[in-house]
Amino acid sequence: MSTQRDQIIREMCLSYRNDYDLKKLPTDPPWVLGLTDQDRLGLWKTMESIYDTEIAPKIQNETTTTRKPKKGHQRKMGQHRRR
């Protein structure tokens, strides 16, 4: 079972290399589409690092931050901010 994190990382890999899901043997010529297991793991680790350092903190921050205004800062309908 894959987690949301794994699904996002896989989509990142596919965005970077559209042949990410295609298997390639190390003996295949260079023009053959696909990635070897070693190349696939290397790309996964790179995208995993980007996700963990750049994306996950932003997702966590978005889910923990509430967007409700503080009490006393709510305006009633028709009231405008004074300038």
pLDDT at 73 over 90: no
Q: Is the pLDDT of residue 79 over 80?
A: no
Q: How far apart are CA 29 and CA 36, in angstroms?
A: 12
Cα–Cα dist 61/12, whole Å: 20
The predicted model scores a pTM of: 0.71
For 22-65, what is each residue's pLDDT tens digit? 999 999 999 999 999 999 999 999 999 999 999 999 988 887 77
pLDDT above 60: residue 69: no
Which residues are CB-neighbours of 49 under 8 A, at least 6 positions away? none
Residue 75 has pLDDT above 80, yes or no: no
